[in-house]
Amino acid sequence: MADTAPPPNQAPQDATREPRGGETGGEPLWRDALGECLRDLRRDRGEKLTDTAGRAGISPQYLSEIERGMKDPSSEMIAAVAGALELTLTDLTVAVAERLRSFEFTASVGAGHRAYYALAA
């Protein structure tokens, strides 16, 4: 059976994009945590997408896609954006890891594991 194109008023879905962690209820994907962290860091500096993207040598559209978890950037792109935000890759990696760790703790407490934390304390 032949594939049919979507109606003109409906955008085609990206079949290669995996669901975000929040969409599936599971652990967030690295690209989602990275994107959220980059957006927060950029906004904390009071910068627009064009400011940071210009220093990183990428388009504002690409940076926006990274921040929204729509792209899996290469390590070179991540390093360029980190540098544009005056961060080392280590600093950025730690910030993303802390974001993921915070999610894991929140998810486990929400799932009823509070007693395990209380017993371990």
Kindly report, residue by residue over 53-103, the tens digit of the pLDDT. Answer: 999 999 999 999 999 999 999 999 999 999 999 999 999 999 999 999 887
Does residue 3 belong to any structural domain of this protein?
A: no
CATH number at residue 45: 1.10.260.40
Does residue 15 belong to any structural domain of this protein?
A: no
pLDDT score for 106:
58
| Long-range contacts at 24-32 (CB < 8 A, ≥ 24 apart) | 27/100, 27/103, 27/104, 27/107, 28/100, 28/103, 29/69, 30/96, 30/100, 31/66, 31/69, 31/71, 31/72, 31/73, 32/69
Domain range for 42: 27-112
Which is nearest to 62 in space by CA: 42, 85, 41, 35? Answer: 35
Kindly report, residue by residue over 25-54, the tens digit of the pLDDT. Answer: 577 899 999 999 999 999 999 999 999 999
Q: Please count the structural domains in the chain.
A: 1
- Whether the model clears a pTM of 0.75, i.e. scores above it, the answer is no
